[in-house]
Structure 1
Amino acid sequence: MRLIKKFLGEILRGIAKVIGTIIDSLVQLIENMVLFVGSFFKGCLALMSMGGCLFFLIFANLGFRILMNSMGLSILLFLLVFLMFGGKFVSYLKYLKYITTEFLYNTANYLIDGTNHQYKAFNEYKAAYKKAEEDKIREQQRRYYEQQRKWEEGCKQQWYQQNHQSGQRTYGGYSNQGSYGHSFVNPTVEFKNRYERSCDILGVAYDADKTQIKSAYRKKAKEYHPDLCKAPNATKIFQEITAAYEFLSDDNIQQYKNIN
């Protein structure tokens, strides 16, 4: 009986690994497809904006033919729906992977070593995942408000130093060191500018989510990796791409949304 339980446990471990691999592959595929479809529609809009009236007439004629064709209309609607809900589907797949694989791994460990491992029901992993997501959101909010508080304190200190120095007077023909040549920088504006510069480097929209940012980073990093790209400035561009991706963290994405 003990050997049978161990055997079943090893089978469940294998199934969990296969499920995890399949879902990871689907997530990667959908992320790339969302990026491709988004780039396709952006490219069409860019061509329309650059092509003028002539291109608009040609594009409108082509678009009318596509809309009149049932297959073309179905494909167009599918791409639009896919672009709208692709990110949400990726999030659901990650949720499905977590609750399924964790349950299977836990059950496998329980069967292999039942005396030292506690069995947990499937619903417990659903609750654990939701709680982890809620804790993550609360932690992001806490970090945001903490950073805002530090920025406000920094603004007050800069304002005080600037006004204190500019209020100093000159004596005996000598001028004190003042705030001449130094300008007050709003940390919120500075953060927003850096965030948007990072998005421009990766070639994503300012309201892009983490999935789109990650896909764009992988594409850019592969294109400009020093081992693959022979351009003389490949190393510098690769470093800028990496720095931009690191700056576009989940916390900064949420912070940028709150600013806007």
Structure 2
Amino acid sequence: MNTLKKIAGKVLYAIAKLISIILDVLTKIIETIVTIVGGIAKGFIALIGMGGCLLVFMLAGPLGFALLLHPAVLLTILFFVIFPILGTKFVSYLKYIKYIITEYLFDRAYYLMDGISYQFKSFNGYKDKYKKMEYERKRKEQQRRQEEQQKEWEEKFRQWNEYQNYQRRNNGHTNYEWYGQNTGYDNQTYANPTSEFKSKYEKSCDLLGVGYDADKYQIKLAYRKKAKEYHPDLNKSPNATEMFQQINNAYEFLSDGNIERYKNMI
């Protein structure tokens, strides 16, 4: 009986491994296609930007209008617009499916081969674990981006302060009202980041709908409400994805360090 269980476990393990390989290959293929299609679309947009007036003039005529209405042209445009979006979502779905199926099968295989108890009794347990893992991954990624932004602004202010000190030592005074660009002691060009920082901070607060004197708890609460309102899975309006990204960017910028920096400025 134990031998049969071990054989069944090895077969189940092999099936799980095969499914994992197939889904990995499929995911990689779709990711590659999405990257290529997205790159072509961005290149075409850049081309339009460089010769936009000429292109509009060409398409404004009867020939251009007829060309745009041609089914093949319309399908091509839709493909380059929609595929990168749907492809990215499909890749995420494949990763989700791969995790819950393979983890379920691997656990059952280990149980049959070695008697190791599996984590969950049903798929739902693996689904919940994957969602928690994804939430934690996104949280850490967001935290990493916040820390990078924090370091970037700290570096800007550090360089500006060093330039001010250089001016003070060499000229006997510092022009703190000069918001233009300046060449410092190391022949690098610097600009006072105060105005840019304040503008970005206030725009981020406006986007989340909080006052400029809001604390981190008020900002976090406003972010959760806005993120839920514009989440692409819940909000089907055309600009939902763009707004959701802007909301995330605003929240990442409004880190604890930047909140403190802004309060010290006013």
TM range, smaller chain = 0.5 to 0.7
The structural deviation recorded for 1:182 is 3.9
How big is the alpha-carbon RMSD for the aligned residues of Structure 1 and Structure 2? 3.8
Amino acid in the other structure paired with 2:85:
M
Distance 1:169 1:13, change over 3 A: closer
Cα displacement string for residues 189-209 of structure 1 (whole angstroms, at most 9, x for unaligned residues): 9xxxxxxxxxxxxxxxxxxxx
Structure 2 match to 1:197:
none
Structure 1 match to 2:11:
11
Cα displacement string for residues 134-186 of structure 1 (whole angstroms, at most 9, x for unaligned residues): 11122122223333333343334333322222112579xxxxxx837343268
TM-score scaled by length of structure 1: 0.55
Amino acid in the other structure paired with 2:185:
S
The structural deviation recorded for 1:104 is 0.9
Instruction: Say if 1:107 and 1:120, in contact at 8 Å, map to a contact too.
Output: no
Instruction: Say if 1:13 and 1:105, in contact at 8 Å, map to a contact too.
Output: yes
Return the alpha-carbon distance in structure 2 between the equivalents of residues 166 and 94 of structure 1: 55
Distance 1:41 1:159, change over 3 A: closer
Q: Secondary structure at the match of 1:161?
A: helix
Q: Does 1:181 align with 2:187?
A: yes
Count of aligned residue pairs for this structure pair: 182
Distance 1:130 1:4, change over 3 A: same
Cα displacement string for residues 75-116 of structure 1 (whole angstroms, at most 9, x for unaligned residues): 8766654343111011110111111111111110111000xx
> Which structure 2 residue ranges, 5 or more long, are not aligned?
173-183, 197-247, 254-266
Instruction: Say if 1:144 and 1:255, in contact at 8 Å, map to a contact too.
Output: no
Return the alpha-carbon distance in structure 1 between the equivalents of residues 129 and 92 of structure 2: 16
Return the alpha-carbon distance in structure 2 between the equivalents of residues 255 and 186 of structure 1: 23
> Which structure 1 residue ranges, 5 or more long, are not aligned?
172-177, 190-253
Q: Secondary structure at the match of 1:61?
A: helix
Higher relative contact order (CA 8 A, sep 6+): 1
Distance 1:75 1:145, change over 3 A: closer
The structural deviation recorded for 1:38 is 4.0
Return the alpha-carbon distance in structure 2 between the equivalents of residues 56 and 89 of structure 1: 36
Equivalences for residues 1-260 of structure 1 within 5 A: 1-38=1-38, 46=47, 49=52, 53-54=57-58, 57=61, 58-66=63-71, 81-114=82-115, 117-121=116-120, 122-169=123-170, 179=185, 181-184=187-190
Return the alpha-carbon distance in structure 2 between the equivalents of residues 27 and 141 of structure 1: 24
Deviates more, 1:120-129 or 1:51-60: 51-60
TM-score scaled by length of structure 2: 0.54
The structural deviation recorded for 1:4 is 1.3
Return the alpha-carbon distance in structure 2 between the equivalents of residues 140 and 19 of structure 1: 28
Return the alpha-carbon distance in structure 2 between the equivalents of residues 92 and 110 of structure 1: 27
Return the alpha-carbon distance in structure 1 between the equivalents of residues 81 and 155 of structure 2: 45
Amino acid in the other structure paired with 1:66:
P
Amino acid in the other structure paired with 1:22:
I
